[in-house]
Amino acid sequence: MKRIGVLALQGAFIEHIKILQQLGAKAVPVRLPQELEGLDGLIIPGGESTTIGKLMQKYKLSPVIQRLIAEGLPVLGTCAGMILLANQVAGLDGYSLKVMDIGVKRNAFGRQVDSFETDIRMPILGDSPFHAIFIRAPWIENMGNDVEILAQLQDGTPVVAQEGNIIVAAFHPELTSDTRIHEYFLSLIEGREKCKK
């Protein structure tokens, strides 16, 4: 059984845990550095990136997460999780792990009242669209050559991207009953296990 850590400092971690369990993985809430060891994957959930960032530093999680990602640990960051993985963050005076070659803008679509839901096309998930819930969401403003865009809004704004073992989504896939993004994440983990053998 795969053991997937879900950073459980603040935000929508319970919903990720439930989806992972539904998909037959063991979900491990992570609050302390030692809880990161021996995981097959890690999810950084949505919430408030400044708060999660502060707590990540306070509990000394950041250097361990950075090392594990550099070693190839598959990571999924959603919304605030995407912000925390980005190399550059516009509108954040706080902290990010700086492990993915993207520049993002916080609260890029506006304030809470500008939160919205929309169907997006994501070819790697098949033909049927994914219902995406954006809550004070960031967007990706720029990216390096090794970053692949997996989904865009109608106007071309990239909202799901991947760089090697890191996947980010600007919205909240854990708040819908569609489990395909989590399944895709678990398939990356499968792939990594096969390579190790």
- The smaller minimum CB distance to ligand GLN, of residues 83 and 140, is found at 83
User: CA nearest 39: which of 3, 75, 77, 1?
Assistant: 3
The reply to whether 43 sits near ligand GLN by the rule CB under 6 A is no
Output the smallest distance, CB 109 to ligand GLN, in A: 10
- The smaller minimum CB distance to ligand GLN, of residues 46 and 74, is found at 46
- CB of 184 closer than 8 Å to CB of 167: yes
Among 47, 74, 158, 173, binds ligand GLN (CB under 6 A): 47
User: CA nearest 76: which of 176, 9, 5?
Assistant: 5
* Residues in 70-89 that interact with ligand GLN by CB under 6 A: 79-80, 83
The reply to whether 108 sits near ligand GLN by the rule CB under 6 A is no
Output the smallest distance, CB 77 to ligand GLN, in A: 10
The reply to whether 49 sits near ligand GLN by the rule CB under 6 A is yes
- CB of 80 closer than 8 Å to CB of 170: no
At 41, is the secondary structure helix, strand, or coil?
strand
The reply to whether 170 sits near ligand GLN by the rule CB under 6 A is no
The reply to whether 16 sits near ligand GLN by the rule CB under 6 A is no
The reply to whether 141 sits near ligand GLN by the rule CB under 6 A is no
The reply to whether 168 sits near ligand GLN by the rule CB under 6 A is no
List residues with catalytic annotation. 79, 172, 174
Amino acid making up residue 117: E
| Adjacent-strand bridge partners of 132 | 118
C-alpha span between 42 and 139 (Å, rounded): 21
User: CA nearest 83: which of 107, 67, 64, 65?
Assistant: 107
- CB of 77 closer than 8 Å to CB of 166: yes
C-alpha span between 135 and 114 (Å, rounded): 8
- The smaller minimum CB distance to ligand GLN, of residues 82 and 189, is found at 82
The reply to whether 46 sits near ligand GLN by the rule CB under 6 A is yes
Contact residues for ligand GLN, defined by CB under 6 A: 46-49, 79-80, 83, 106-107, 135-136
